[in-house]
Chains A and B, each alone.
Chain A
Amino acid sequence: MSGRISERMRFGTTANRIAQVRLTADDIQETAISGRRLRNLSTDPVSAVRVLRNRNKLENAQQFKRTIDYAKGYMQKTEDALRGIGDALIRAKELAVQQVNGTWDAQTREIVSAEVRNLGDQVVQLGNSTYGDKYVFGGFRNGTPPIAPDGTFGGDDGLMFLQVDEDSFRPVNVSGREVFDSPPEHEDTKPNLVTTLRGMYLALQNNDVDGIRKAMVRIDEVTNSVIKNTALLGSRQLAVDDVAFRLERSEEMMQSDNNKLEGADPISSAMDLKRAEGAMNFTLKSSSDILAPTLLQFLK
């Protein structure tokens, strides 16, 4: 006897249908109110994990931006100091070229020596430049001034790497030893920056033309080292700029990816709401119409 519709079925199915419609309407309403499609892990596990990952990466990106700002400031300060030192050396070279000439006498050289002493002091000051509380040429020992007044280098060779992207650590400092001191590998050839200027000062004071000539050669050597390190720093700055740009791009992409994955479309939400309302009304109306009549009512 298939096709029989029992009482329990008539009422049970109707109750189920109404419950189903209500459930769907509830779900649609919640999506519309929260504006989010991914409310549970199981709604879409793959997207949910991707959203979580992106969300964490966005948080990382904020940290990387802070680090990049810091690295940029650090390198800018170092660059300014190196430029100042470079300028001082150029001026010292000019004076040396001028004073090595036999037309100048001891008195003039005495006057010029004062300028060279100032240049020396200036270089020491620039060598002890700080960013925040850190001496930029100190390597890892950046808590104390790395350049002593006599030109001794008190820092170390520490190269500071900072993480500026998920997979990239970038150096942000240059070796103070290479700029100011004779690095171990150049011990015989490359002179100390401060003592070179000091030597020139003494030669000028003593009216020692030969000493001035020697100082001139040494100034060339230390200038080379300054220029080399300025260039190195420039390339490091470029690399960080490049990372900053990529970070900006990937941040936008992750934002839009997340919006697509977890955001509910407001227009389709509105349509869904309308549809749910219609389905609800129709189900209730048809249920009340269908459930009412039975044969018993006609048997009077």
Chain B
Amino acid sequence: MPTHSDLVALAPELILILAAGVLLLVEAFLPRIRHAASGLALVSVAGAAWARLALPLPGAVWSGMLRVDRVTAFVDLYILVALFLSIWMAVGFLRRNGLDRAEFHALLLLAATGAMVMAASVNLLTIFLGLELLSMPLYVLNAYLRRVDVSLEAGLKYFVVGAFASGFLAYGAALLYGVAGSTDLATLAQSVVQEGRMTPLLAVGLAMFSGGLLFKLALFPFHGWAPDVYQGSPTPVTAFLSAVPKGAALVVLLRLVISMDLLHLTNRWLWAGALVAVASQFLGNIVAIVQRDIKRMLGYSGIAHMGYAMVGVIVGGTEGAGAVLVYLAAYTFMNMGAFAVIALLSESEREPHLIGDLAGQGWRRPIPALALTVCMFSLAGIPPFVGFTGKFLVFKSAVDAGLVWLAVVGVLNSLISAFYYLRVVYTLYMRPLPRREPAFPAGFSIGAAAATAAVAVVLAGIFPAPLIRAAEAAAQLFLG
């Protein structure tokens, strides 16, 4: 029987689900007040964040299916911030496209709930269910512009690849259940540690299970969908998709890796993980150079960024986990900011978002251009922005674990990536305005979201101590 404290521990998720239900009812029965939908969604996100901060963190709840601790709280807040910025962006975006419906926000809230369940999960069953609750609303949201062929194409591709990944994850979970005789991660880890070596069943199960997660992270060799889906989806959805599922999937991966102490269990983990990390970095960065569409370019850049984060996952332990959590927060802010500016500076969702269209905008629209510049510098890992902090911590954890070459490859890749990020800045400021100036529709809320994200990138870059302290305090708990 669920107890009182079980329900209190899930208060943020319950608030979001309740709000999503209300929004769906509004859309169905009171369409006249649907313009208030985004306001209700934003209030519910703020309420969920408040609940997570104010209520106690009891640890294991729901008969040990979920753990609500400081790791969960850190990732929940990260998810809620990304959700807040996405909804904020979506307000202006939907109005421009004449799609101002309440169900859009309801679906975003449900997807975020799924991510939060996943982040709290210590059981294969809840991980699977959280992942599905995260994915299904996103399949719909990708194809939300249902008269635009690229949006439908993105939706179909994400659906097929996502369901394919779910199949892998479910099959892997089934094999892991066979290893441990339980779907509980702690029991699984215990039986692995007792065995003390990699049995074939365990190796295949782990590979398939983490393969399913790598799909969500868009890591090599499961990265193929990312550029297409990033390019085709409505921009606020792309922003959400680039941050939230990755955070949830990385936490699950960290919980698995650290509980089994894989780095010390078998060499194969190091080599498989390093192959994924290094190949993702090189592939993402090199292919991003030749892209003309900025959303597609950020798709490839996202593959590379998760490659950097993967370095922290390979290292594992408290230090690696702390670095990954900081990296996640950094990546969210800079990516959200960049996508918000892209949403603001685009004429129509039917046309590609070419980098060349930004020519000369640095002088014409100084504030959005400045926000984009900050985000690009941060993505390239240039101090004093928060992207540098994240990269520094991840590479430092690799050096401390004696994997200097992984850090060297990462730094080398950051150099490659600077080329295409700075080209965007170059286009903004050094290229002349085109003769036929693009007319960008107004979008105050999109600009506000962009500005907020950019300010966060700068502030967290100059004063990183609170973020790092919170991440390290959370990372302590991965061990016990």
The reply to whether chain A is a binding partner of chain B is no
